[in-house]
Amino acid sequence: MRYTITDYTMILNTIIALIIAITIHEFSHALMADKLGDPTPRASGRLTLNPLAHLDPIGTIMLFIAHFGWGKPVPIDPYNLKNPRRDEMLISLAGPVSNLIVAVIFTLLFKFFAFNLFISIVVINLGLAIFNLLPFYPLDGSHIFPDLFPKATGQIILIFMILPLFNGNSLISSLISPVISFCLKLLSFL
Domain interval for residue 25 = 5-187
| pLDDT above 90 (res 34) | yes
Q: Of all residues in the chain, what percent carry a pLDDT higher than 70?
A: 98
- Report long-range pairs for 40-44 (Cβ below 8 Å, ≥24 apart): 40/75, 40/76, 40/77, 40/80, 41/74, 41/75, 41/76, 44/75
The pLDDT value recorded for residue 1 is: 64
Q: Give me the mean pLDDT over the 40-58 stretch.
A: 96
Question: Shortest CA distance to 129 belongs to which of 100, 106, 102?
Answer: 100
| pLDDT above 80 (res 67) | no
The number of CA neighbours under 13 Å toward the Cβ of 97 is 11
| pLDDT above 80 (res 16) | yes
pLDDT tens sequence across 149-174: 888 898 999 988 888 877 778 888 88
Domain total for the chain?
1
pLDDT confidence bin for 132, thresholds 50/70/90: very high
| pLDDT above 70 (res 87) | yes
Going by C-beta distance under 8 Å and a sequence separation of 6 or more, which residues neighbour residue 8?
A: none
pLDDT confidence bin for 37, thresholds 50/70/90: very high
The pLDDT value recorded for residue 77 is: 97
H or E segment to which residue 70 belongs: none
Tell me the residue length of the chain: 190
Omega before 73 within 30 of 0, i.e. cis:
no
Catalytic annotation on 26? Answer: yes
Catalytic residue among 21, 24, 26, 38: 26
Compute the mean pLDDT over every residue in the chain, rounded to the nearest whole number.
92
pLDDT confidence bin for 21, thresholds 50/70/90: very high
The pLDDT value recorded for residue 141 is: 95
160: number of Cβ within 10 Å: 12
Point out the least confidently predicted range of 1-10, 20-29, 46-55, 80-89. Answer: 1-10
Q: Give me the mean pLDDT over the 113-118 stretch.
A: 94
